[in-house]
Chain A
Amino acid sequence: MQAEIIKQIKFGIFSQEQIKKLSVAKLTVPDTYNEDGYPIDGGLLDQRLGVIDPGLVCKTCGGRAKTCPGHFGHIELVRPVIHSEFAKIINMLLQATCQKCHRILLNNEQIGVFREEIAAEIATENPAPENNGEKHAEQDMLKRLKSVKKCPHCQTVQEKLKFSMPTYFYLGERRLKPDEIRDMLAKISDEDLVIIGVDPRTSRPEALILNTLLVPPVDVRPSITLETGERSEDDLTHKLVDIMRINQRLEQNINAGAPQIIIDDLWELLQYHVTTYFNNETSGIPPARHRSGRALKTIAQRLKGKEGRFRYNLSGKRVNYSARTVISVDPAIDVDEVGVPRAIAEKLTVPFYVTEWNLEAAKKLLEKAEYPMVVNIVGLDGKRKRILDTNKEDLLKEIKPGYILERQLQDGDIALFNRQPSLHRISIMAHRVKVLPGKTFRITYPATAPYNADFDGDEMNLHIPQTLEAQAEAKYLMAVQNQIFSPRDGNVIIANGEDGVIGLYLLTQDDTRLEKGEAECLLGAAGIREMPKAERDGTYSGKRVFSMLLPKGLDFEVEKFKIKNSELVEGVVNKKMYGSGGSNKLFAAMAMQCGLDALSEFLAMSSRLAYAYSTLYGVTIGVKDYMPTEEMRKEKEALITETEAKVRDLISQYKSKKLEPLLGMTLRQSLEQTIMVELDLARGKAIQMLNRDTDQANFAMLMATSGARANILNMEQMSMFLGQQASREGGRIKRGYYTNRVVPHIARNDTSAEARGFVKSSFLDGLSPIEMLMHAVGGRGTVIQKGLLTQRSGYLQRRLANALQDYYVLHDNSVRDVNNNVIETIYGGDGLDPTRVGFAKERKEKE
C-alpha cells in the first residue's frame, strides 16, 4: 500500500529567504567538536542540525539518532559568490537581456509571438513534454540574442559580455563582481523570464548568486569514529569548514579595513571553496584535496556516475528475502523447480496472512516447533516480533485476522531465480521451491540455457516474493514453463542437450529393442507407471517406449519425423527437433496442442528417460574415439601434401603474374583469397573423410550427429588437422616478426601455407612449436575480442534499454510511450507476440 503517491516533482532554486526559513541554525564557528568531544554550538555539527551519536538528543526535534531526520542550517557569506554549476545559465540570461534596462532583447512583436506560443502550449492537454530543459524552442532564440547589438526597448548599445570558465564575467574589459551580477539578474522581470523559459515562481535567477549557503544536516555527512577513538569527518564537512574559515577571515579583513587587493583575494578564495564544494571536478580549477592528497568527493561527485547516488542507490535497490549460493545440476527435479538447501530454506520466510477463515490453520502453524515453522509475527501495528518459546503462548492467544506470520520456506513456494548478468528478461524466472539437502541451489540442465549458466562454480540469486500479488505474478507470468520460447526470436530456448539428446537419439533408433525389464526400468525412471504394447517377440521398441512420454492427442510431422496420435511412428529424436533453436518445431506443436505445462512435464520426463537410457546403453567417450585408422592417416597426409602443392602452385602463378585476378581485387588480394578457399576446402575434405570412414557407433561421431555436444569440426581438429588459424585482421596470420613473417624461423617473403598459420597437425598428434604459436595467435585474438566485445555490447544494452524502456503495448495493440505518443500503430504490423508467432503459423497451416 502506498500511503502517499508522488504525482510530480518540481525543481527550483532556493531563494535567500527560503534558505533562512528552512534553516534551523546560523552557523558561525568553523569547527566541529570541542575538546570534550561534544559538538560545538554554531559549529558544523551543531546539535540543532540533527544527531548521529547514539546518546545525544536533537535540539530541534528532540529525536534520537534513529528518529531525527536531520535539519538544514545555513552560513551567511560576507560577500556573495556565484553558484558555479549555474554559471552557464547566468551567462545565458545576461546575454539575453539588456545591460541597462534588463529587458529581454526582443522587440515587442517578437515577444508577442513567443507569448502566443507559450499560451498555446499551456492550453494543450499535455503541456509537459515541451515544457522541459533543452527542448525549449526558445533556446535557439536565446543563442541569437547574443548578437543583438542594441536594446529594442531602451536603445542602449550592448557592450560585449564575456564569460570565462568557471565563474568569471567581463563587461567589456571590466570584471563583473558577483554582487553586480546579482543586481542585474534581479532586475529581469518575471514576464521576460517566462519568455526565456524560466519559471520565476520557483527559479528566480538572482538566487544563483549565493549570499547564504544552505548547510546539509549531519545525517548527510556523518563523521566516523575510528578504532583509535579519533574522529574522521566527511568530505563535505571538511569543505564546509574551509568555506567558513575563509568567510571568517574575509569578514575580519573587511572590518579591519584591509586593502581592496587582500579583500578581493580572499573573496576569490571563498569563491573557489564554494565552487569545489558543489563540484570538485569543475574544469579550469584544481580539485580540493584531502590531507592525504586524495581529491575530495563533494556534492556533484556523490550524485554522478555508476557509483553515484542515482545509479547506485536509486536505480538499483538492495533487497531482503534473498539468498545466493553456488549452483549445481539435478536431473531428478522438474524443470520448473529449484533445489534450495535446507539451511537457506530455514532462513528465508514467506508471509502467511491471517484471516478469519484461516485462523485455525494459522494457530496450528504457529504452534509448530520444528522446520516449517513460523519465525516472526507481524501485528496490526506493523511491528515485527521474533517468536520465542517464551512468548509463543501469549501470541497464540493474541493472534487475530490481520496478523502476518512469517513462515519458513517450504516445498512448492514460489521463488524468483536469477543469474547475472541479467541480459534479458528470462535471466530471472519463477521456480517452485524444492527443499533439498546439501549447500547448493539445484536446477535441471534445460533450465540453464536462459540463464546462460553452467556448473563450473556459477552462483545464482534467489528471491522470495512477499505479497500475494507478487507471488501470483511470478507464478503466472515468470514461471519457467512460460519461458520455453525465447522472446528474442520465438525459438525454443529451454530444451535438452548433451546426454539428454544422445540418450533419446539412441533410444529412438529404428532397431532399438528392449527387454521387458529394461523398458520397465526406463519408464520407471521417467516417472511412468504403465507399459506400452510389446512386440510379438515380447521385446519393446525404443520408439514405443519414448512415445509413452508424449502427451495425449499430439500429432506432428516434419520431414522424416512423424508423431501420430502421440505415437512416434517415424524418425529419430535428435537435437534438431528436440533441442534448442529454430529447428525445433515439435515443442511449439506440443505447447499448442497440449499446453505449456504438458510440454514442461514432457521435458522433465524425457530428460530422465534419456539419462537412464544413456546409462543403460553405456554412453562413454575416450581417446580411441578420436584415433584415425592407418588408412585415414595416410589419406590425410596425402590431402595435406596435395593442398600444400596447390598453394605453392598458386603462389608461383602469382609470381609469374599468371594468376587470374578476382573481380575488383588486386592480384595480391586475389592470391590470399584463393589460398584461403583452397585451405578451407582441405578441411571440408577431411570432414568428408571422417564422415565416410568413421564407425557409426563411434561416440565422438554420435555426439556430433545427434547434436548432443560439439560438432564434426571439433572432431576433425582432434583426429585430422587443425587447419588455417585466423589472425585478428581477418586473413591469414602474417605479422609478428619484422619483414612480414610470423617468426624468424620462416624465410622472408614465404607465403606458403605453413608460413602463414596453416596447422597440419591434429590435437591428438600434438602441434609443432611454430604451429603452437600460430594456434596461440588465434587464441589470443579471441580473448582480446571477447573482452572488448562485452564492454561495447554492455553499453549498447544500457543505452537501448534506457531509450526504449517506456514503450508498451496498449489494449488496441498500438505501441505507446508513457506520454501516450504512438510509436507503432500496431505492434510489429500484426500485433503478434514474438514468442507465439510459431503457434500462429502452426494454426494457420492446420486451417
Chain B
Amino acid sequence: MSMAKDHEYNVQAGEPVGVVAAQSLGEPGTQMVLRTFHMTGVAATAIATSGLPRIIELLDAKKMPSSPLMRIRLKESYAKSFAKADEAAKKISEIKMSSVMRHIVENFSKGKILVVLNTQSLQAADLTARPIAARLGKELGVEAKVGEHGNIIVSTHTKNLKEVRAITVKITKAIVNGIEGAGRAMVVQDKNGDFYIESAGSNIEPVMQVEGVDPEKIYTNDLFSMYRVFGIEAARNTLALELRKTLEDQDISVNDRHISLIADAMTSGGTLQSIGRHGLVGKKESVFARAAFEETVKHLINAAAFGEVDHMRGVTENILVGKQIPLGTGSVKLVIKSKESKKK
C-alpha cells in the first residue's frame, strides 16, 4: 500500500514523454517574442538573442551563439577588489585595431606602414601605443615602433606591393588588446559584493589562462565551448539552463522535466546533436522515419543501394503502414500460455 502511494504521482509506463516534451516547447512558440534585442540589465549582456530565435539556435546546436556571453568568476584575491578584477577584465576585453585606429598609410617604396591612432578611443579603452606596437610586432612578426605623435610605424622589410598590402589588411584586423573572440569584458558585482567579469564574447580556453581567473568557474552560453572544455554533461546542463532562462525571460512556464528530456535527448549520444535533419532525426534508425521527415528521396535511394532494413520499431514507420504504435497503450503486449506449454 505504501509502495503504491509512493508511485501515485509518477508518470505512467508507456507515456510518450518525448512527444509531450516536444509539444510543451513547441506549443508556446507562437507566444514568444521574435524580437532579437532587448535592453535590460547590465549593458554588456543587454543586447542578447532571446525568445524563439534563441530557442531555435539552441536546438540547432549552432557552433557559436549569435550573441555569445561569458561569465568569469575570479579567484578570491581578485574577486574582493575592483581594481584587481578590472585588471583581469582588461586582459580579457577584446579591442580591435579598427576601433582605436584613425587611419592607416602605406609607404610602398619604403615598405613601411603608418598607423595613426585615435587618442580619444585609446584613452577610453585605457590603452597606450606602446603595448599595441609590441603586440603587433609579436603577432604579425613585423617590426613595429612607436613614432612621433604616438603613432605606430611598421617596417615590413619588403617592397613587394602585394605583401605590404597583405600586412596592412592584417594590421587593420588585428586585436590590440585582450583575447580574440572574448568580446567586451566588464566587471560586475554580485549580491555578496564579489566582483566577477561578464563579457560579450566567448573563447574560454585562453580566458582560463588569464591571471586571477578561476578556471573552474567560467560559464559561457556557447554549448560547443562547454562541451569541448568541460565535457558533455556540462554541455547538457548549459543547454537546459539556457533553454530554461530563455523561456523564463518570455514568461512562459514549462515544466523542467520537458526541458531536461530535450537536453538529454540532444546529448545522450555523447556528442551534441541538433534537433533536425542533420541531428537526431537524420540519424534515426528507420528509413521510413527519416524519409517521412525530410529529404525523402535521398533516404530511400540510400536504403535501396545499401540494402537497409527497417525494423518497424518507431512511431512513424508504424503509422505509415497502419500498425499500432509501440508507445502508450500500444507498448503492452498480451502473452497467453498456449495449451501445450501448460501441459508441460
Contacts and interface: CB of A to CB of B under 8 A. Distances in A.
Contact of A129 (B11, B33, B285, B305): B285
A421 B100 CA distance: 54
Interface stretch (A27-35, A488-496, A524-532): A488-496
A425 B55 contact: no
B262 to A, nearest CB: 7
Interface string A798-830: 011111111111110101001101111001110
A522 B7 CA distance: 41
Interface string B1-17: 00000011111111111
A493 to B, nearest CB: 11
A471 B259 CA distance: 33
B199 to A, nearest CB: 11
A252 B342 CA distance: 73
Interface in A200-234: 200-203, 205, 208
A6 B19 contact: no
B290 to A, nearest CB: 8
Contacts of B186: 663-664
A795 to B, nearest CB: 9
Given A208-B305, A803-B275, A837-B9, A487 B20 contact: yes
Contacts, number: 327
Nearest to B40: A673
A133 interface: yes
B275 A203 contact: no
A811 B322 CA distance: 26
A832 interface: yes
Given A7-B312, A808-B16, A808-B328, A803 B22 contact: yes
Given A128-B309, A133-B299, A805-B316, A582 B253 contact: yes
Given A197-B306, A310-B320, A489-B255, A805 B314 contact: yes
Contact of A300 (B282, B297, B331): B297
Contact of A6 (B9, B303, B312, B319): B312
Contacts of A805: 16, 18-19, 22, 314-316
B292 A310 contact: yes
A824 B309 contact: no
A304 B291 CA distance: 9
Interface centre among B258, B275, B297 (most CB of A within 10 A): B297
A785 interface: yes
Contacts of B173: none
B275 A828 contact: no
B14 A133 contact: no
A203 B43 contact: no
B252 to A, nearest CB: 9
Interface residues of A, number: 106
B323 A133 contact: no
A133 B26 contact: no
A469 to B, nearest CB: 8
Given A488-B253, A808-B15, A818-B326, A796 B292 contact: no
B59 A489 contact: no
Contacts of B304: 11-13, 86, 203
A758 interface: no
A488 B27 CA distance: 9
A803 B10 contact: no
Interface string B304-341: 11111111111110011111101111010000000000
Contacts of A279: 297
A308 B296 contact: yes
21 contacts: A2-B324, A8-B311, A128-B285, A132-B303, A202-B307, A303-B300, A310-B292, A310-B296, A314-B319, A315-B292, A801-B26, A802-B293, A803-B276, A806-B313, A807-B18, A808-B15, A815-B261, A818-B313, A824-B260, A824-B264, A828-B261
